[in-house]
Amino acid sequence: MMSQKMQDAINDQINAEFWSAYLYLSMAMKYEDEGLSGIANWFKIQFKEEQDHAMIFINYLIQRDGRVLLKPIEAVDTDWESPLEAFKATLAHERKVTSMIRNLYALAEEENDYATRDRLAWFITEQVEEEETVKNLITKFKLVGTDGTGILMLDTELGTRTYTTPAPLATNA
């Protein structure tokens, strides 16, 4: 049986994943409004992935006979100066999530909860990929600066992103 402390921490993480989803949907809506549908597409997929992350934790708590408790989702920003600023905010947020996952992992180790630690290992790898992807996009947006043609090119590139179900949900592992 999972400890109450571990359950509470995972419930907090579920809330954080839904908050992330809401943040990225807000970014998607900002760029829909600006006619940058490729950037909006990228953030909409990000929105789906964050909901998937929440579901992975939800499924895991259920599997371990834990109680899922959904809490209110705090408000998110609705405006960013430029796509570059939105991606910088994304990176800052993902870094925060990385440290939250690291704290959960440390708690699982402290409690000798190896099942939870193993589930979290997937998230540790996922966060490395998230940060790398966003860092690369920041580099590109910095390169084009305020050049409209450059931004449109990147918008087209981000429009090609497609959604794939994360492994833990695809296999129901």
Q: Could you list the residues that contact Mg ion (CB under 5 A)? A: 17, 50, 53
Q: Which is nearer to Mg ion, 44 or 53 (CB)?
A: 53
Assess contact for 91 and 27: CB atoms under 8 A.
Answer: no
Task: Give the three-class secondary structure for 66.
Answer: coil
Q: Which is nearer to Mg ion, 19 or 151 (CB)?
A: 19
User: Least distance from C-beta 90 to Mg ion, angstroms?
Assistant: 11
Q: Which is nearer to Mg ion, 100 or 144 (CB)?
A: 100
Chain residue at closest Cβ approach to Mg ion: 53
Q: Which is nearer to Mg ion, 2 or 23 (CB)?
A: 23
Encoded tokens for 105: 């992992």
Q: Which is nearer to Mg ion, 2 or 56 (CB)?
A: 56
Assess contact for 29 and 86: CB atoms under 8 A.
Answer: no
User: Least distance from C-beta 104 to Mg ion, angstroms?
Assistant: 12
CA dihedral for 13, 15, 16, 21, sign (positive or negative):
positive
User: Least distance from C-beta 77 to Mg ion, angstroms?
Assistant: 17
CA distance 132 to 137: 9
User: Least distance from C-beta 102 to Mg ion, angstroms?
Assistant: 13
Between the CA atoms of 91, 97, 101 and 107, what dihedral angle is there, to the nearest 10 degrees? Answer: 130
User: Least distance from C-beta 151 to Mg ion, angstroms?
Assistant: 26
From residue 161, alpha-carbon distances to 37, 44, 141, 158 in Å are: 12, 10, 17, 6
